[in-house]
Structure 1
Amino acid sequence: MNGTQNEGSFLTGKVLLELDEETPAIGLYFHIIGEGVVRLQDRKRLQHNDRENYIDFRMRLLGDGGTKSEAGSTINGSTVGGRILLLSPGIHTFPFKLGLPLGLPSTFLGKHGWIQYYCKALLREPNGVVHKNHQVFIVMNPIDLNLEPSLLMQPFHCEIQEKVGIRCINRGVVNCRVRLDRGGYVPGESIKIYAYIENGSRATIQKSKAVLTETIQYTVKSKLIKSEIKELASIERGKIPAKAADQWRGELLYIPPIPPTNLRGCHLIRVQYDVYFVVLVKGNKRIRLQLPIMMANYPIRNKDGTLQKRKGTHYPETLPINRAWIDADSSVKK
């Protein structure tokens, strides 16, 4: 069976049945399943579970239910016309081809939930003995930046003005303006960050920092139960004295090889990528700006089909499916 499928394509493969001796059977059954599951325990040790189905296709490869034209015929040495089939020793092959529906969410494996697709084959003997096996396959619902709204290709702005002080004593205002070169990227590209930080206070800004994060939210019965956030990459600049300013001029934040994610169609798990721009003022809370971005599979191309040349781009040959950090501490200071 082909291991990775795009939604809307065909799932093709075959069920192989290898027998050492002549074996009676009632039937051979085939089941294709796609499901999303959330399963977690909260701080009060209450269990929260939810599930939704995307594919539930069943078929009988051998046994009762065949057409009249099959009565008395032979398949791999087996007579189909009766209730009990006698399967000869050797390898029996049953090919299949199934069109996958459009709109399937991509395969996802998380700490508290997953989206998985798999095939199950089951051989049932007259004496009640059941032989079964299953095979997982990966579904990838790709996002092509060339097909997304053009707004994603425009610069993305955000700004904030924050008063800073200690114990209600106003010590001045910090102004911060941030701009990303666009709103959609693919792994292997670099995010260009432009920023202007004006320190109008009497406090020292210890540093400014840009952080790429991935946030996973788990929902049960339409209620958000758990949210995890992980820092994927970061860059920073140094101190800004009182009454001074600093400017980021297209600093590059590289996007590492991360799992491409499109969970459109799933109502239980949500994945979001953000760039957080953080300003740390001595003796005060952090100043934070959140800039959501889209993480796609296919990058922007020129009109002639060639890739756009971008500084700081190193497209990886392969992207991981698993998230190695899901079992580790995923907290990020905000």
Structure 2
Amino acid sequence: MKLEVFEIRFDNPRGVYAAGEQVKGNVILRLRNPMKVRKVFLYFEGRAKCHWEVKHGRSKTDYRATETYINETFDLFDAGASGADHPAGEHSYPFCLLMGASLPSSFEGRRGYVRYFCKASINRPWKFDEHTKRAFTVIHPLDLNVVPTAGMPVWGEQDESVEGCCCSVGNVQARLTLNKTGFVPGEPITYTVDIFNKCDSTIERVELDLKQLVTYTGYSNSIFSSGHPKHHTKVDNFSLLNHTNRIKRNTEEHIHRAVAVPPLPPSNLEGCGIIDISYFVELKVNVRWTSITIEREIIIGTIPMHFAGVPQAPVIPGSPASNAAPSAPPLEPPPYSEPPPSYEESVFGRVEIRDENDDEHTSGQMGWAPSYPVYHYDAATQHFQILPSLPVNTPSTAPPAYNQI
């Protein structure tokens, strides 16, 4: 085999970039012997896709939508149509792509994605082409300091009558309080849950969940379609509290805790017109056949609020946030004087990124997950602290089922 090494290496080892930054690196090609080659080129693509289907008896209707953000090709070696012998040995071809500042954050969901990748190819005369592929993460900054409601506390209360066989047996009052509205991954959501059981029944369970609601937009392939967009939602829950201690009749319970936000994409997915992300905290109290539910929306950002005593992060040069203060930390900066985030893989785990354009001659990292900024918070000092990034570990089990598009 003449081809010994063919891979893409980013200057940023984790492959995480802010929208508006340059993606730099090298395509490494090592040949044992000279190889007849027409061209070596590198293709960049950034796109969003949605797809789901609705069944009607034996028939079904497909809904799809696509947006393209990056579509660039760079020639690294060009010997013309007839080709020429590429020298043996190891060769490094540098590349640099300047991304737009309005690109949406990377996201992998159950009915669609926002995905960025590059694919290097060796075009050979009268031979199969060789390819290598690598995905990278783009972060569109969401600075909580410019969101007016981010520092406002969240409050909700509900009073529900509990019915017995033929009459009321009392009422249950539930109250939910959050310390604020805006959070970043790694930061604790501090909550208080107050339950006043003023009925003759025992409350068996109290649950508090962080909910991610993703809304996909698509268009029908049916000839009878009106042409109007359709929407499809998927919800994933992350438990913040599962309180199984019995709350006896005519008693009350007060729970005050804090749980860190897992690595998640930012709210809204700004820059994407076919996928939207919202987050909610939902309190659920079940008593008899009555359920009390309090749901309030929160915001997940990429840049934390800078309260007094909390360090302010440096600016990403060239990013849209560079015109505002405070702004985002650079992703691979020189040594920090103030705590930066680390970058950790999405809580949803890795997915298969091989698509319809990849074949058995395509190598690279096909099991992949976007990485999001995660801030490490010290509850004792109420400051963000410097901790090293967690290593990127390959899951020991297969990733969750994914609707490949």
Q: Please, what TM-score do these two structures have when normalized by structure 2? A: 0.64
Instruction: Could you tell me which runs of 5 or more consecutive residues in structure 1 were left unpaired when the two chains were aligned.
Output: 64-79, 329-334
| Distance (Å, rounded) in 2 between the aligned partners of 1:90 and 1:322 | 31
Q: Matches of 2:278 and 2:389 in 1, distance apart?
A: 21
Q: Is 2:298 the counterpart of 1:298?
A: no
Give a deviation string over 1:108-167, Cα, whole Å, max 9, x none. Answer: 22333222211122232343642322222222234333x332421121111223232146
Structure 2 counterpart of 1:229? 236
The reply to whether residue 270 of structure 1 matches residue 276 of structure 2 is yes
Q: Which residue of 2 aligns with 1:53?
A: 68
Distance 1:232 1:270 in 2: 22
**Contact between 2:205 and 2:244, CA under 8 Å: does it hold in 1?**
yes
Which residue of structure 1 aligns with residue 257 of structure 2?
252
Report the Cα distance in structure 1 between the residues aligned to 2:31 and 2:71, rounded to whole angstroms: 28
1:5/1:303 CA distance change after superposition, 3 Å:
same
Give SS of 1:265's match.
coil
* C-alpha separation in 2, matches of 1:268 and 1:142: 19
- How far apart are 1:234 and its partner, in Å? 1.6
Q: Where does residue 122 of structure 1 map in the other structure?
A: 121
Does residue 160 in structure 1 map to residue 158 in structure 2? yes
Q: Structure 2: which amino acid aligns with 1:289?
A: I
SS of aligned partner of 2:294:
strand
List aligned pairs for 1:172-183, cutoff 5 A.
172-183=170-181
Answering whether residue 92 of structure 2 is matched by residue 93 of structure 1, we say yes
Matched residue pairs, number?
307
Q: 1:198 is matched with which residue? A: 196
- Answer whether contact 2:120 2:131 (CA < 8 A) is retained: yes
Distance, in Å, in 2 between the alignment partners of 1:236 and 1:322 is 33
Alpha carbons of structure 1 residues 187 and 239: separation in structure 2 relative to 1, 3 Å: same
Indicate if the aligned counterparts of 1:25 and 1:124 stay in contact, CA closer than 8 A.
yes
Q: Distance in 1 between matches of 2:258 and 2:399?
A: 22
Partners of 1:109 and 1:14 lie apart in 2 by: 26
Which digits, 9 at most, give the CA deviation of each residue in 1:195-253, with x for residues without a partner?
Answer: 443344443333433223333444323423341322333243744444444444xx113
- Alpha-carbon distance in structure 1 between the residues aligned to 2:205 and 2:264: 30
RMSD over aligned CA atoms reads 3.5
Give the corresponding residue for 1:11. Answer: 23
Q: Give the aligned residue type for 1:267.
A: G
Q: 1-side partners of 2:71 and 2:279: how far apart?
A: 31
Rounded Cα–Cα distance in structure 2 between residues aligned with 1:106 and 1:237: 38
Do the aligned partners of 1:15 and 1:121 also contact (CA within 8 Å) in 2? yes
CA distance in 2: counterparts of 1:293 and 1:211, whole angstroms:
12
Q: Distance in 2 between matches of 1:101 and 1:300?
A: 25
Max Rg structure: 1
2:325 maps to: none
Cα 1:325–1:196, aligned 2, differ >3 Å: closer, same or farther? farther
Cα-to-partner distance string for 1:266-298 (whole Å, 9 max, x where unaligned):
2333333322112221x2221110122222333
Counterpart amino acid of 1:31? Y
Sequence identity (%): 24
Distance 1:311 1:103, change over 3 A: farther
